[in-house]
A and B are shown apart, each in its own frame.
Chain A
């Protein structure tokens, strides 16, 4: 158990809909990262928050947004969903938002868009 909790574990929704994925980081971790893993793809970095502020951005679509709340949990919002958004979405957390610390991953949310 990494200490990072993601909910829900599975989500099935229709195209055009909006969903929210939730992540609770490990106790004491200030930084939260979101990654997408599509079929046969590696882990694609979406966005990072550090202590409530956006720290770094990857190839995140404009239809996607995220935020980190004062209690440090984070939510990833996906809207106007398309079939191609079906993927595993992982959240990770680390103590710092800097480079020389490892990140610990949750078990992921499997999103299926039908």
Chain B
């Protein structure tokens, strides 16, 4: 049962444009969401997170939006740069006492930013 889903295996955008990566989840007990970025032959690196008490969190070029009613979150990258080309994983977890303390990851979306 895939509790965190990234339905787009890949995405290609032009440099300077917006990249939008999407993620859906099924477990309503999740209350903390994260995005990780992964280059080949490296471990995932933390990018940005959002708590369920918020609907938006911004860090430089990266913004994460959370729609709890739809159980959907998205990562916006503006403007996209060639160095952003990587696999992006969405992850979710529950707080202490919640359903889960572990990070559940989606299958990833490969972003290719074309110069």
Measuring CB to CB, which residues of chain A are less than 8 angstroms from any residue of chain B? Answer: 2, 4, 33, 35, 41-45, 48, 50, 55-56, 58, 90, 92, 97-100, 102-108
Contact = CB atoms under 8 A, between A and B. Distances in A.
A4 B43 CA distance: 10
Interface residues of B, number: 29
Majority DSSP secondary structure for residues of A touching B:
loop
Given A43-B44, A105-B43, A33 B51 contact: no
Contacts of B93: 99-100
B45 A42 contact: no
Interface residues of B: mostly helix, strand, loop or mixed? loop
B101 A2 contact: no
Contact of B45 (A2, A41, A48): A2
B49 interface: yes
Interface in B64-111: 89, 91, 93-96, 98, 100-108
B32 interface: yes
B42 interface: yes
Given A41-B107, A42-B106, A99 B94 contact: yes
Contacts of B36: 105
A64 to B, nearest CB: 16
Contacts of A55: 101-102
Given A43-B89, A44-B105, A102-B34, 11 more contacts: A35-B105, A43-B108, A45-B103, A45-B104, A56-B101, A92-B43, A98-B95, A100-B51, A104-B45, A108-B42, A108-B43
Given A99-B31, A99-B32, A99-B94, A106 B43 contact: yes
B102 A58 contact: yes
A97 B101 contact: yes
Contacts of B103: 33, 45, 92, 103
Contacts of A44: 105
Contacts of B100: 56, 99
Contacts of B43: 2, 4, 90, 92, 105-108
